[in-house]
Amino acid sequence: MPLYPETFDSYIESEYETLVRILETPNPPEGEEKMRALVKKELKNLGMKTSIDSAGNLIGHLGKGENAFLLGGHLDSVQPCEGIKVRREGDIIKSEGETILSADNGVGIFEIMAALKYLHDNKLPYCPVDILFTVGEEIGGIGAQAVQMSDLRAKHGMLLDRSDDPGVLVVEGPYKRNFSVTFTGVSAHAFEAEKGVSAIHMAAACISLFPQGKIHDGLYANIGRIQGGNAVNQVAENAVLEGEVRALTKEGAEKLLEEYQRIIDSIQYKFSLSGEFSPTAEFKHTARREGYKHDEEDWLIKNISSVQEKLGIPTKMQVTRACSDAGDLTNRGINTVNYGNGAHRVHTKDEWVDMKDIKTASWFLVNFLQEIKLEDN
């Protein structure tokens, strides 16, 4: 039995073409202009004041006051997200199969806009709202890390960016640290290999000693890219490896990186033992995403759970190993949770979403924005 009234069911169905436009609008990372323009136009129709910051994030404000609740998501999708053709079979929405569906995060964007439009069209009162739709979430959260926090009033927020059932709350997410190691050896002809130091051998020695994969439940590491050398008949003078560390605690990530540094230093020392050569290995931290952890007694979690209980939506709290803007925003001062938007199999050509889940998530937002009392936090 649906958790929303028939009138709301019909209302969301009447907005279906807007959903299709969002999903079919090309929005690769660093190419979000068309999506941003579409969303900005829809928000303007609600009377929302919007702006685009220096990073390209779309920011909006509804309602007066010094405090507001933040709703948001991201404007970009992974490739292939150009040339999408939406196909609907009953309540199931997919692409034609040659592209992704762009449900991550097009569905979340639609759910936010549909809820706000319903409140607007029915002249229902609700709390002040800040909107943040970021750029570059899929390439390291560059938008969330660049937004000026003074542009937002909110102390608490929700991103419709969890690819799962409505009712799911991601209460804990990982800290991620990207890194590179640049090895510089000594070049020589292959038939005089003893006169050189192979940067590739140095890299291989490090990789063999680096803890990798699932180290334990809260700590993961991966070497995802390696390149080096110029010719098969030449001792490689240069090599670079790139990887990442993910941990549910900042301390866990930092300790593993410290261990990597010790390994790199020992390998550099080992390859320099002859005294004839001075190979080097430079360890750099290249990017970072922040993690977060919300307590069940947190104001945000308690209020979401309370509204869901009234609506008959089960609250499911999850821990994720996936990074999101929620971590960066929480660490920058807006206590933010990720909420299930109904999308499944995201980042694949088999991506799909159930229209009933879109309606449930939107109905939850309609009720949540009417019921929360921001002065309580």
Query: Over the stretch 280-296, which tens digit does the pLDDT of each residue have?
Result: 999 999 999 999 999 98
pLDDT in tens, 219-245: 999 999 999 999 999 999 999 999 999
Cβ atoms 280, 268 nearer than 8 A = yes
Q: What is the pLDDT of residue 103?
A: 96
Neighbours of 39 (CB within 10 A): 26
Q: What is the pLDDT of residue 273?
A: 79
> To which residue do tokens 């709350």 refer?
169
- E strand residue ranges, the chain: 49-52, 58-62, 69-74, 86-89, 92-95, 129-134, 156-162, 168-173, 175-184, 188-189, 213-216, 219-228, 234-235, 238-247, 280-289, 292-293, 316-319, 335-340, 343-344, 352-354
Question: Average per-residue pLDDT in the chain?
Answer: 95
pLDDT-based confidence at residue 278 (cuts at 50, 70, 90): confident
Least confident of 191-205, 265-279, 321-335: 265-279
pLDDT in tens, 65-94: 999 999 999 999 999 999 999 999 999 999
Distance CA(132)–CA(57), nearest Å, equals: 7
pLDDT in tens, 39-61: 999 999 999 999 999 999 999 99
pLDDT in tens, 333-348: 999 999 999 999 999 9
**Percent of the chain clearing pLDDT 70 (strictly above):** 99
Q: Does the structure show a pLDDT above 90 at 277?
A: no
Q: What is the pLDDT of residue 85?
A: 97
The average pLDDT across 318-327 equals 94
Q: What is the pLDDT of residue 214?
A: 96
Q: Is 176 helix (H, G, I), strand (E, B) or coil?
A: strand
Q: Does the structure show a pLDDT above 90 at 36?
A: yes
Residues contacting 255, CB < 8 A, separation 6+: none
Q: What is the pLDDT of residue 1?
A: 60
Distance CA(94)–CA(24), nearest Å, equals: 11
**Percent of the chain clearing pLDDT 90 (strictly above):** 95
pLDDT-based confidence at residue 374 (cuts at 50, 70, 90): confident
Domains of the chain: 6-172+292-376 (3.40.630.10), 175-289 (3.30.70.360)
Q: What is the pLDDT of residue 170?
A: 97
Q: Does the structure show a pLDDT above 80 at 375?
A: no
Q: What is the pLDDT of residue 376?
A: 63
Q: What is the pLDDT of residue 358?
A: 98
The average pLDDT across 141-165 equals 96
**Full-prediction pTM beyond 0.85?**
yes
Q: What is the pLDDT of residue 140?
A: 92
